[in-house]
Amino acid sequence: MTRRSVAGWPKQQTLALFLALALAMATLIETTPGRVSAGTAAAAAAPGGPPSSGAAVDDWDDPADDEEGYCAPYNGKVCKAFVNSRQVWYSREDGTGGWENEKITAALFRDLINDLPDYCRPAAEKMLCAYAFPQCVIKDGVTMRLPLCYEDCVATHLQFCYNDWALIEEKKERGDVIKSRGHFRLPNCEELPRHNKSARPPTCSHVGLTELIQEEATYDCRMGNGRYYIGTVNVTATGIPCQKWDSQEPHSHHKPPLVFGELQDAENYCRNAGGEEPTPWCYTTDKAVRWQACDIPLCPNSTDMISTKKPVSIVMESVFTPSMIFLLSGIGFVAIVLLHLMVFLCYRIARHNNSNRRQGTTGYNTASTQDTQGIDINKLPSNVNYHRTGAQLNPKLEKLEFPRNNIIYIKDLGQGAFGRVFQAKAPGLIAGEDFTLVAVKMLKDEASQDLQVDFEREACLLAEFDHPNIVKLLGVCALGRPMCLLFEFMARGDLNEFLRQCSPFAQQNRADSISTELSHGDLLSIAFQIASGMMYLSERKFVHRDLATRNCLIDDNMVVKIADFGLSHKIYLQDYYK
């Protein structure tokens, strides 16, 4: 085949050559860092997402890695309410135009986010969308994606989603991960950059979880739960001075984290950072009182978060007219007559049944032997519905089932990771006792499926233990909701608090003259009882994951029993520390 010059080509071939050169130039421009061509904008029409699989936090600002992405508006649906139409980072390695991250995010919303409690869910939604679709900036001609901010991460981890984050980490250690997570991973907050308001371009993808909204800030009163109250009240409602927020004495704490704007220069003033409580509060300087709410008045035209129920006023004169009174009287008379008839009928039925029992089988017409011959019971049809019940109860707990309506509430004892704990009386729980004092651990209504499984697993485990130094599970309320566990009541509470009250320092500060200081013999007895309980667990190949004085209980007779068994020890931190 002979060569031809361009000038000698037909017009159609010349035109095709120019079109090919134009396309090549367009491709070159598109791949230049910091530029978005028409082809790039078209590719961004599909929803997109950030880090490729296995990307580490330290790689966010690597220029070589950033050259593989481009900036374009977010056009997806899942995170539209959080990302809006800002410029987000898209990976060039994702041939689907970012659809992979959109699909993973939608799956995580379905499998994880939607089941989170109301306090945690908004923060988790914003963080997931900022992770999946990070903010995109161009610096020195290089396209960069911005990682999550340290402040938002810490607030979500230690404040908004403390229990749920710990539960996810616990499952991760057991190898139980969410299958729909794809290449998404929980961030390491300590490795993330801090938010800098004045930095241009910004340092991270800020979602504003810790921002102090100046328009809602109050100084002399509180709006709603007082999240943005920044006044100077520094005593609790009972007059106890507040501990400084940046101090760990006398109470060590990690929440709320100091990343919240309302805690900046807060000294020891009452605050409600993150809005977790219904009113501003503080840690106290009293070693015996960890924290208390503060008495901050409600602002005018504001709704109190503690109680929003309003009394319903009824105009009695318009209801109880003479005709209405006559009608109600007639209905009441008929109801009384029917009630007496029902009582009389029940009495006759009960009397008839008792008479039949005394007479044995003489009160029934028995069939003759001739009628029953030739019947093979094994060939009779089986009614599968006869053995079907409405609830499936674990066999280990079935013998411990106690009617929840028989529980008599006395007082609250505290709030744990699983839910509320209160003291109660249980009539007829133990044979020979009119009633038994118990501590009832009640599973909270909004508990996730995993938390319900852990709760039932703890009940099944404790049902097998029988030792004088292991807390005894006396009963369960597993039929219906919420599920409750009934433990023997230990009057002196947890051993940690008891030992502190009996310390020489506490004795000096007691107002009364009664001495409760422990002798060496008492201390040896306590240690011996704990060792005895641990030996019992060891013989049964059980490892207690969180043995501490706070997880032991003591009664009025100085009997010590091991309690919480650390099945999910990270979420138990909520039991002891705010």
DSSP state, residue 138: E
CA dihedral 207, 213, 216, 219 (to 10 degrees): 140
Name the residue with tokens 């060039």: 92
Cβ–Cβ under 8 Å, residues 150 and 204: yes
441 is in an annotated binding site: yes
Question: How far, in Å, CA of 401 to CA of 475, rounded?
Answer: 6
Helices 162-173, 449-463: inter-axial angle, 10-degree rounding: 70
Largest CA distance in the chain: 123
Question: How far, in Å, CA of 430 to CA of 406, rounded?
Answer: 13
Helix (H) / strand (E) element for 471: namely none
Closest CA to 296 of 279, 309, 277: 279
Tokens of 25: 């130039």
The CB density around residue 157, as the number of other CB atoms within 10 Å, is: 22
Cβ–Cβ under 8 Å, residues 147 and 205: yes
Tokens of 165: 């984050």
DSSP state, residue 440: E
Question: How far, in Å, CA of 294 to CA of 280, rounded?
Answer: 6
Active site residue 546: yes
Beta-carbon-side half-sphere exposure of residue 146 (alpha carbons within 13 Å): 28
Q: Which position among 61, 546, 555, 575 bears the catalytic label?
A: 546
Tokens of 48: 């997109």
CA dihedral 55, 57, 59, 65 (to 10 degrees): 50
Cβ–Cβ under 8 Å, residues 401 and 476: yes
Distance of CA 491 to the CA centre of its chain: 29
- Report the amino acid identity of residue 246: D
DSSP state, residue 299: P
Helix (H) / strand (E) element for 542: namely none
Cβ–Cβ under 8 Å, residues 251 and 284: yes
Q: 86 to each of 80, 105, 197, 375, 562, how far by Cα in Å?
A: 10, 18, 18, 81, 55
Question: How far, in Å, CA of 193 to CA of 8, rounded?
Answer: 62
Cβ–Cβ under 8 Å, residues 526 and 541: no
DSSP state, residue 453: H
Those residues whose C-beta lies under 8 Å from the C-beta of residue 295, and which sit 6 or more positions away, are 233, 236, 237
- Report the amino acid identity of residue 54: G
Question: How far, in Å, CA of 129 to CA of 113, rounded?
Answer: 11
Cβ–Cβ under 8 Å, residues 516 and 502: yes
Residue 75: strand, helix, or coil: coil
Tokens of 182: 């794809």
Bridge-partner residues for 552, per DSSP? 562
Binding-site entries: 441
Q: Could you give the residue numbers annotated as active site?
A: 546
Residues of each annotated binding site for ATP = 441
